[in-house]
Amino acid sequence: MREKVRDLLKSGRVDVFLAYRQVDGHPLPQAFTLDNMEDLEHLVTGPARYPLDKMASRLAKAKPELKIGLLTRECTQRGLNVLATWNQLDPDRIETLGIGCCPSQLHHGADCSHLVPEKVGAHKLEIGIDNRAKPQELDALSQEERFRRWSYEFSKCIKCYGCRNICPVCFCTECSLENQELISGKSLPPEMPIFHLARAAHMAGRCVDCGLCEEACPMDIPLRLLYAQVGRIVDGLFDYQPGADTTLSPFTFLGEQVTLEIKPLEEAQEA
């Protein structure tokens, strides 16, 4: 890895390479350039996980002429694809070195911070939602119960905007979550459920299921689960997986024809 980064920098294929550097026991994101080549020996690949893709796109926005290289896990690669899809990054100016790991509970080779799911307390299991659940496991619950459980989770929110701030694919300059006319800025917890559902709606066709939002959430709201369901809906309706490649999200173009059917009134009836 170090050799590869050195080659990339020396050959001029990248001006700056984003990876991690071990500092006092903390793996911190670091921009390696020709000027600090000696730091390369402290380069590490994990286990901390920062949104390097988001950092790269911010850097690219401030310095469009830069050629940026970065360390990518599978989630970072998906994030880069989504950013390229939404014209936030020029993929020609990005070089990646993949370490091929994915923060999945099923993935045994993963070495990042989301590998081991945290234990969930008994109280939360009873009235809230298990962060480790899969979206389909919630299908068995009645509408009433779902709403009660999600309301409990949403009511914990301290509105730190951490989920949005850390999200690799949240790049808008003006955020709906801060628009006073859409969501009142005065209340805490934020207006429920609009605050979280508005964000979930924005994640449609974008969320790459990296799990950084849930990691950054101080209140352990099962955000990854919520957005995983968003991904599941989008996959079911449009057969679209954000970040799999650079095809456009179904929400960004009208399309040649309507492929969906109106949901009949009776069928939607559910107690």
Partner 1 sequence: MAEESFEPKILAFMCNWCTYGAADLAGVSRLAYPPNIRPVRVMCSATISPHHVLRAFQNGADGVLVGGCHPGDCHYIAGNYMTIKRMSFLQELLGFVGLGGRLHLDWISSAEAQKFVAVVTKFTEKIKQMGPLPLLPENLERSLIQGA
Partner 2 sequence: MEYKYVPSICSYCGTGCGVLFEVLDGRLMSTWPLKTHPVNQGKLCIKGWNLHEYITSPMRLTSPLVKEDGRFKKVDWDRALSRAAQGLKDVIQEHGPDSVGVLVSAKMTNEENYLAQKFARAVLGTNNVDHCARL
Residues at the interface with partner 2 (CB under 8 A): 15-16, 23-31, 33, 48-50, 55, 58-59, 62-63, 66, 113, 158-162, 165-166, 215-218
Indicate the Cα dihedral angle 69, 84, 208, 166, nearest 10°: 70
Tell me how far, at minimum, the Cβ of 246 lies from partner 1, in Å.
20
Report d(CA 119, CA 122) in Å as an integer. Answer: 10
Q: What is the DSSP letter of 88?
A: S
Residue 127: which of partner 2, partner 1, none does it interact with, CB under 5 to 8 A by kind?
partner 1
How many residues are present in the chain? 271
**Positions in 116-135 near partner 1 (CB under 8 A):** 126-127, 135
**Positions in 163-182 near partner 1 (CB under 8 A):** 176, 182
Determine if 263 is a binding residue for partner 1 (CB under 8 A). yes
Residue 102 makes CB contacts below 8 A (sequence gap 6+) with: 73, 74, 75, 110
Q: Which is nearer to partner 2, 21 or 206 (CB)?
A: 21
Six token digits for residue 10: 């020396």
Could you tell me the CA-to-CA distances from 13 to 26, 36, 67, 100, 233 in Å, in that order? 28, 16, 7, 21, 40
Residue 33: which of partner 1, partner 2, none does it interact with, CB under 5 to 8 A by kind?
partner 2
Number of residues located near partner 1, criterion CB under 8 A: 48
Determine if 151 is a binding residue for partner 1 (CB under 8 A). yes
| Nearest to 48, CA basis, from 111, 132, 131 | 111
Helix (H) or strand (E) holding 55, with range, is helix 52-62
CB atoms within 10 A of CB 214: 22
Tell me how far, at minimum, the Cβ of 74 lies from partner 1, in Å.
25
Question: Which stretch, 87-95, 107-115, 209-217, 222-230, contacts partner 1 (CB under 8 A)?
Answer: 222-230
Q: Which is nearer to partner 2, 97 or 216 (CB)?
A: 216
Report d(CA 207, CA 213) in Å as an integer. Answer: 10
Positions of E strands within 147-269: none
Q: In which residue are the tokens 């559902």 written?
A: 197
Question: Which stretch, 10-18, 35-43, 114-122, 150-158, contacts partner 1 (CB under 8 A)?
Answer: 150-158
Determine if 269 is a binding residue for partner 1 (CB under 8 A). yes
Indicate the Cα dihedral angle 118, 132, 211, 78, nearest 10°: 140
Residue 155: which of partner 1, partner 2, none does it interact with, CB under 5 to 8 A by kind?
partner 1
Determine if 143 is a binding residue for partner 1 (CB under 8 A). yes
Determine if 189 is a binding residue for partner 1 (CB under 8 A). no
Q: How crowded is the C-beta side of 25, counted as CA atoms within 13 Å?
A: 0
Q: Which residues of the shown chain bind partner 1 in the complex (CB under 8 A)?
A: 126-127, 135, 138, 141, 143-152, 155, 176, 182, 191-194, 197-198, 200-201, 204, 226, 229-230, 233-234, 236-238, 250-251, 254-255, 257-258, 260, 262-263, 265, 268-270
